[in-house]
Amino acid sequence: RAVAGDLELAGDVDDLFLDAERGRLYAACGAGVLEVFERDPAKHGVAAWRSRERIPTSDGARTCLFVPEEDRLYLARPKRGERAASIGVYAPR
């Protein structure tokens, strides 16, 4: 199969989740950004997706889990220097 297109990201990604209810994609980028893409229902394919928001997180935070039943995204933030490892909890808006 051929690649249909590309969506640019802020950095390497381990996890990508679809929020079907909102028509969004969430990508946890190791560059310290949670990328949010939104789908335009009037368009099709890659052209339907546009960058909605880049939420600052933590450098190296690229592992996440979106739980639709809770309407929450959990992001693992690694230990960096004196900052302890933690899990950030995000509520889509």
Burial class (CB in 10 A: 0-12, 13-18, 19+), 74: middle
Q: What is the rounded distance in angstroms from the CA atom of residue 17 to the CA atom of residue 84?
A: 26
Asked if residues 76 and 87 have their Cβ atoms less than 8 Å apart, the reply is yes
- pLDDT band, very low/low/confident/very high, at 3 (cuts 50, 70, 90): confident
In the predicted structure, residue 2 carries a pLDDT above the cut 90: no
Q: How many Cα atoms within 13 Å fall on the side-chain side of residue 7?
A: 20
Model confidence over 29-80: pLDDT tens digits? 999 999 999 999 898 888 899 999 999 999 999 999 999 999 999 999 999 9
Model confidence over 32-43: pLDDT tens digits? 999 999 999 898
pTM of the model: 0.88
Which three-class secondary structure state does DSSP give residue 7?
coil
